[in-house]
Amino acid sequence: MIAGLYIDGNSVLHRAQAGPKILAMVALGTGVFMVPDWPVVSLVLASVIALYRLSGFGWRVIIAQIRPMAWLLAIFFAVQLWLNDWQAGLLVITRIAAIVMFASLITLTTKTSDMLASLERALRPLKPLGVNPEKVSLAISMVLRFIPVIATVASEIRDAQRARGLDRSILAMIVPLIIRTLKMADDVADAIEARSFD
Amino acid sequence: MIRFENVSVQFDQRRVLENIDLALGEKRIGIIGANGSGKSTLVRLLNGLQTATSGRVLVDDLDPAKDGRKVRRHVGFVFQNPDNQIVYPVVEEDLAFGLKALKLPRDEINHRIDEILARYDLLDFKTHPSHLLSGGQKQLLAISGVLVMAPRYVVFDEPTTLLDLRNRNRVERAIADLDQTVITVSHDLDLIAEYDRVLVIENGRIAVDDRPAVAIARYREMMA
Amino acid sequence: MLYNGNGNRYMKTKDIVYIALFAALTAVLGLFPPITLPITGVPVTAQSLGPMLAGAILGARRGGLSIVLFLVLVALGLPLLSGGRGGFGVMIGVTGGFIFGWAVSAFVIGLLIEKFWNSLNVIKAALSIAFGGIVVLYALGNAWVAVVAEISYWQATVGAAPFLIGDVIKVAIATAACLAVRKSYPLISKSA
């Protein structure tokens, strides 16, 4: 199965429930937009980084979270410097960094299965609106089941097309892939029906 | 007891099955026929995956077209390609799938899963990703997924077509050992050679209905 | 279709499977290595083909839901976005508007394709996919960038422009795929 981004640990954040953590994320995201003040937001960012340390993560993990957005943040800072001043630039980049880093921290400290359990709990009140939590979890499981199957079919098709000299055409890959997996989906639906799911 | 009463099936303009009348009470029933002869459609009528255009089908006096859910509980279905039958990413989750729908207690579900996995030497794979099993193991998992539901009938639709010889033999043995009534659609004539009764379907009609030796010999003549 | 006798329940199971299939397809498209465009150096990933294909092949409701399902899995912490990214961080990051926009984009594409279904041709399909997959998507994505970076909407649009080349190519691919699949495996009914 596909491994989640969760990193094992035993900190307060690791032990906390997914629901409250997600609420905290929403609160922090809203908060940093309500206070357009760079020293405050920088303090929030510093606290988020401290939370990483408290949750048992080393600097390598922290830098790995910052690196993918570093060039974008640099551009945003430069744009603000050009349009306004460096304080505005600092506000923009510390705000983005604080939100993204906190959100990533939630993902790093929450198991996919716990996340799923809270999702199912959150969906339960929506049942009268036609949302069926069992069908949602069936769909989620099926995606995880389909990913390796589709990847295998894709490489089979690529080999077949390569043998015909069509290996540069994405279309020659994607159309047969869709048709074959749609046929598979029909069979899977039959099999689910045959196993008396309703 | 399975009955077909004057059953016809039509897709658009094409008649796939025509006026089928049958009473099936044997324990091992084989169905053979050319591609497109209507044999798969015939067995799909048994659990309501297909409904008759006219006439009716009765499985233990229940009509799959009306009591689909009840009938499906008693009629298990194993398809040609196990990849299309395994729904869940982990072996035990897949086996639990049908059982959860029955609202069985957790202990009972676990018990049944262990029992069936032990039967097919798959216990070591209980928590494995299902896509990492070999072709033969996948087909045995698909069969297990059907058997945990404790059906009275098991329908196999070309269960060995995609398997190599060794796995073909494993699946053949697994089918032979079943207590259930078995209905097998197959191009693999050896698979049904020891059955009680074999039907040959040709152009939507039952061309031959006899002992395997006779039916298979006639089928070979027809296909020559 | 063939399975009319079993009524709604059957169709619903099939719909769930199709929805899961296109969510998985979108994830698999993220596994293909990105192509870097010459001169600009902009990376183009195959993943954003997913929402276009989902909408154009499954229609509005199922197409939109398949991308929502994909995003749920990403939110659960699975690294299914191209480059093995995932989790809340990427989703609410700078490009979050584009990621959430995928679901809207699939829905809008589906809506248009359904509307034109009976008389669908290359031009109508391409315009439908381009409208949902570029106009709607960029509108949402750029608005999000404008808010988090505190720049004007126009500036965000200029910044995103280099990515247009890749998306135009994807519209062409999705159009051809949608028409090919429509011929051999139509899933949007005429009444839809």
Please give the structure tokens belonging to residue B223.
């296909």
More confident residue, B81 or C136: C136
Please indicate, yes or no, if residue A44 is contained in any of the structural domains: yes
Model pTM greater than 0.95? no
**Pair A12, A83 in one domain:** yes
Check if the beta carbon of residue A181 is closer than 8 Å to that of residue A150: yes
Dump the DSSP string for chain B: -EEEEEEEEEETTEEEEEEEEEEE--SEEEEEE-TTSSHHHHHHGGGTSS--SEEEEEETTB-TTTSHHHHHHHEEEE-S-GGGT--SSBHHHHHHHHHHHTT--HHHHHHHHHHHHHHTT-GGGTTSBGGGS-HHHHHHHHHHHHHTT--SEEEEESTTTTS-HHHHHHHHHHHHT-SSEEEEE-S-GGGGTT-SEEEEEETTEEEEEE-HHHHHHHHHHHH-
Beta partners for residue B198, in sequence order: B30, B210
Find the CB nearest B69 among A144, A184, A196. A196
pLDDT tens-digit series, residues B127-185: 998 888 988 899 999 999 999 989 999 999 999 988 899 989 999 999 999 999 999 99
Q: What's the gap between Cα A160 and its chain centre?
A: 34
Please indicate, yes or no, if residue C169 is contained in any of the structural domains: yes
pLDDT of residue C40: 62
> How many H helices and E strands in chain A?
8, 0
Please give the structure tokens belonging to residue B146.
């059907």
pLDDT bucket at C191, cuts 50 / 70 / 90: very low
**Pair A68, A136 in one domain:** no
Final residue of a structural domain among A83, A110, A137: A110
**Pair A149, A90 in one domain:** no
Rounded distance, CA C71 to CA C21, Å? 14
Please indicate, yes or no, if residue A155 is contained in any of the structural domains: yes
pLDDT of residue C39: 65
Average of per-residue pLDDT across C6-24: 78
**Pair A92, A137 in one domain:** no
Please indicate, yes or no, if residue A172 is contained in any of the structural domains: yes
Which one-letter amino acid corresponds to residue A92? V
* Count of domains observed in chain A: 2
- Chain C contact present for B49, CB below 8 A: yes
* CATH code: domain of residue C103: 1.10.1760.20
Please indicate, yes or no, if residue A120 is contained in any of the structural domains: no
**Pair A49, A86 in one domain:** yes
Rounded distance, CA B59 to CA B71, Å? 7
Please indicate, yes or no, if residue A122 is contained in any of the structural domains: no
CB–CB of A145 and B73 under 8 A? no
Residue C11: pLDDT over 60: no
pLDDT of residue A182: 93
Helix then strand then coil, in percent of chain C rounded to 5, is 75, 5, 25
Please give the structure tokens belonging to residue B217.
């010999």
Rounded distance, CA C152 to CA C68, Å? 28
State ipTM: 0.89
Q: Exposed, middle or buried, B108 (CB in 10 Å: 0-12/13-18/19+)?
A: exposed
Sign of CA dihedral C88, C91, C94, C97: negative
* Count of domains observed in chain C: 1
pLDDT tens-digit series, residues C50-84: 999 999 999 999 999 999 999 999 999 999 998 88
Residue C177: pLDDT over 90: yes
**Pair A54, A12 in one domain:** yes
When mean pLDDT is compared across A134-138, B184-188, C132-136, the lowest value belongs to A134-138
**Pair A106, A139 in one domain:** no
Check if the beta carbon of residue B152 is closer than 8 Å to that of residue B10: no
pLDDT of residue C2: 34
Rounded distance, CA B145 to CA B127, Å? 15
Rounded distance, CA A75 to CA A70, Å? 9
Expressed as residue numbers, the domain containing A157 is 127-194
In this prediction, the residues of chain A whose per-residue pLDDT falls under 70 are: 1, 165-168, 196-198
pLDDT of residue C41: 64
CB–CB of A4 and C10 under 8 A? no
**Pair A19, A95 in one domain:** yes
Average of per-residue pLDDT across C167-190: 89
- Which residues in B lie closer than 8 A to residue C18 (C-beta atoms)? none
Average of per-residue pLDDT across B27-51: 91
**Pair A154, A106 in one domain:** no
Query: Residues for chain B: how many in total?
Result: 224
Please indicate, yes or no, if residue A25 is contained in any of the structural domains: yes
Phi and psi angles of residue B157, each rounded to the nearest 5 degrees, phi first: -105, 95
Final residue of a structural domain among A49, A84, A110: A110
Please indicate, yes or no, if residue A88 is contained in any of the structural domains: yes
Please indicate, yes or no, if residue C6 is contained in any of the structural domains: no
Expressed as residue numbers, the domain containing C17 is 13-184
**Pair A174, A83 in one domain:** no
- Which residues in A lie closer than 8 A to residue C77 (C-beta atoms)? 4-6, 107, 110-112, 115
Rounded distance, CA C79 to CA C27, Å? 9
Q: What percentage of chain C has pLDDT greater than the value 70? A: 90
Check if the beta carbon of residue A142 is closer than 8 Å to that of residue C17: yes
Rounded distance, CA B122 to CA C176, Å? 44
**Pair A7, A97 in one domain:** yes
- Which residues in C lie closer than 8 A to residue B65 (C-beta atoms)? 5
pLDDT of residue C9: 42
pLDDT of residue B182: 96
Q: Which structural domains are found in chain B, ordered by start?
A: 2-223 (3.40.50.300)
Mean pLDDT of chain C: 88
**Closest-CA residue in chain B for A135?**
B101
Rounded distance, CA B192 to CA B197, Å? 9
- Chain C contact present for B50, CB below 8 A: yes
Final residue of a structural domain among A81, A110, A139: A110
Please indicate, yes or no, if residue C56 is contained in any of the structural domains: yes
Phi and psi angles of residue A144, each rounded to the nearest 5 degrees, phi first: -65, -35
Q: Which of C31, C23, C27, C95 is nearest to C64 (CA)?
A: C23
- Which residues in A lie closer than 8 A to residue C85 (C-beta atoms)? 68
Residue B29: pLDDT over 50: yes
- Which residues in A lie closer than 8 A to residue C94 (C-beta atoms)? 69, 72, 76, 96, 100
**Closest-CA residue in chain C for A135?**
C16
Q: What percentage of chain B has pLDDT greater than the value 70? A: 100
Phi and psi angles of residue B124, each rounded to the nearest 5 degrees, phi first: -65, -20
Please indicate, yes or no, if residue A115 is contained in any of the structural domains: no
